[in-house]
Structures are given as structure tokens and as C-alpha cells.
Amino acid sequence: MTKVRVGVLFGGKSAEHEVSLQSAKNVIEAMDQEKYEIVLIGMDKQGRWYLKEDLEFLLNTTESTQIKLSKSNDEVALILGEGTEQLVTINDFKVLEELDVVFPILHGPYGEDGTVQGLFKLVDLPFVGADVLGSAVGMDKDVMKRLLRDAGISIADFLMYHRIEQEKIDFTEVKDRLGMPVFIKPANLGSSVGISKAADQAEFEQAVKIAFEFDNKIIIEEAIEGREIECSVLGNQEPIASVPGEILPKEGFYSYEAKYIDESGAALEMPAKLTDEMIEQVQECAVESFKVLCCQGMARVDVFIQEDNEIIVNEINTIPGFTKISMYPKLWEISGISYSELIDKLIELAIERYKNEKKLKTSFDFEE
């Protein structure tokens, strides 16, 4: 059987670079070497792509905050070849690899926001995960929330501000609208990077400054009291949802450290202790959100369940974490799909979508 040549792209320019490296390590270790020929492509923090050797492509793998790409001189670029997609060296334009599909394991801007997805489309290459639109919408919390709201899906009340408005943000006006405490978030980032919870004016002003360090647009959300539930979604036109899991953070909220560094930073209850009816409602909400936001392949939908059982959608993550303590693969595992099977399905979905898109007309033939 001919192996599928999979380009695994990891690293990236965003503040979630280290999370990407951790996720990539787990995905690569779980890929079936009998099915796949794995081509490792590391993107540094400046956006340069490097071909990596199978062994020791990462350094300091036991230290979550110190993990980094190993050094390499094989800088490469992706181009459209003669009927195939090719990686070529930057220096001498030598063809190194021909890829069948790419598995981007990039979190945050310049990887999860539609940028590299657009590149893959231009070079006619199948790729795992959401398309350009779904990726961009899922990354931008402001646009995402407005689309969910317009579709009748409950969300937390929020305000959005651009950098040019920073000096005009009025604490009293925000407090009157949203109450206290509030969450202040960069609009286009994930993994809880740059997110703060503020209960008074001093905390609020500091949180706004921090959020604007990571993005030119921020959102300020009301704090929702409720159980934090996550649900994994898988599929293209007919997506399915996993059993839900519950986050029980030991801090005030599910922080970056709790997600990726401190394995005891939060308790993960899988499956969540919910009634059968509530499980079904969460799954339906997750799938509906997935469809409304134009997603394909995979996503993790995060919601709150309030005391009256109302479900409030917090956000969607189109390239969820794949670290050893990440919810997305864990929820599928307890739903009956193992880690390696999940990777198989994601690659199959990428190729399926690509084949369906190739059937579409890209030009109009005028009759002579």
C-alpha cells in the first residue's frame, strides 16, 4: 500500500507557538507509520519554514515553557508544481518533497485564522481543518459572536473596541452595561493568551493594556456563572459531536497555565456529569455552532451551562490543542475514537473535501 505523504506544519508566528509544538509532538507520535510518510515542517516565530529531521526536531520537550524548534538550515517554501504540490529549498530551488495533504497544527494568528489555509488553497493542496472562511471567523471572537447571536445561539453580552478607541474606553460605561467582573480578551488569539478577569477599575485598566499588547481589537465580556463544558466536533457536511467534558479550574478561570503547563491546574471531568437530555442539547448546540461558523474537519466548542440549564456558547476553536492534557482528543477517545483513529479521520475528511471541491467549475465555457 502506498503511504500518504503528510506534511505536518507546526510552530508559527503567534503567541501560541509553544502550544503548537506540544500539540505537534503528540500528533506525530500518534500517526501510524505504516499508513503515513511524515514530512516535518517547522515554522519559526518569524514565519520561516524549515524541513525537520524525524529525530530531535524539538528541544526541551519536557519543559512546556522552554520547548522550541531545533536549528535547521533547510529553509523551504511551498509552491504549485507540475500537477503536484512541492516543497522546495529557498537557496537553490531544489524540489525536496511532494505532499499529498497537510496537517497544520498551528494555533492563533498566521496559522489558525485562514492565512495558511489560503496558501494551501492557492497551491491546490488538501489540508486538515476548517477552510479559509471558517478559520477566519473562528479566530475573530467579535465576528464569531455576532454570527452566533444572529443565528439565535445564546452568547455572553460583550463590547468590542479597536486600538484607536483605547483611550475612550470608559470603565463606568462598561460596568453599567456588563456588570463586574468582566473578561478582557484579544479578539484574535486563543489558549487564554492575553486574557484577564477584572473586578475593579485598576484591574480593568491593566487588563485592557495587556489585551492590546496582543491584538488591535479586543472584546470585553460579561462574566457568566455556570459550568464550563467543552464538546468536540468532527466532520464536513454531516458533523458529529463527542460526549461533553467539564472543566473545573482551580484558579478563577481556565488559564494558559492550566491548559498547557500545570497538569493539576484544572480537573477535567470526562464525560461531564450531565443528564442524557442535557448531553444531547450540548451536542446539538456544538454541531449547530460548527455549521453556523462555516467550519469543517474539526473544532472544539466551549459553552457554559447556567443554573436554569441555558447553554451559553463561549467560543469555537478550529485547531484545538492536541497536547496530552487537551480536551479535543481526550473527548473523542472516551467517545470511542482513539487518538490515532482520530488523525486518520481528519486526514480522510481533508481529502474528501478537496475531492468535492475539485468537481466544481472554476471557469465558464462560452459556446462558439
Output the pLDDT for position 145. 97
Q: How far apart are CA 282 and CA 263, in angstroms?
A: 26
pLDDT tens profile 17-40: 888 998 898 899 899 999 999 999
Output the pLDDT for position 108. 84
The residue ranges of the chain whose pLDDT is under 70 are 1, 54-56, 62-64, 81-85, 190-191, 251-266, 364-368
Output the pLDDT for position 6. 95
pLDDT tens profile 188-215: 876 577 899 999 999 999 999 999 998 9
Output the pLDDT for position 81. 65
User: pTM, whole model, 2 decimals?
Assistant: 0.90
CATH 3.30.470.20 fits 227-357, yes or no: yes
Tell me the domain boundaries of the chain.
Answer: 4-127, 157-222, 227-357
Give me 232's grid cell: 468536540
Output the pLDDT for position 137. 96
User: For residue 16, which of 238, 192, 182, 172 has the smallest C-alpha distance?
Assistant: 192
Output the pLDDT for position 190. 65
Output the pLDDT for position 91. 79
157-222: CATH number: 3.30.1490.20
Output the pLDDT for position 113. 93
CATH class of the domain comprising 4-127: alpha beta
Output the pLDDT for position 63. 67
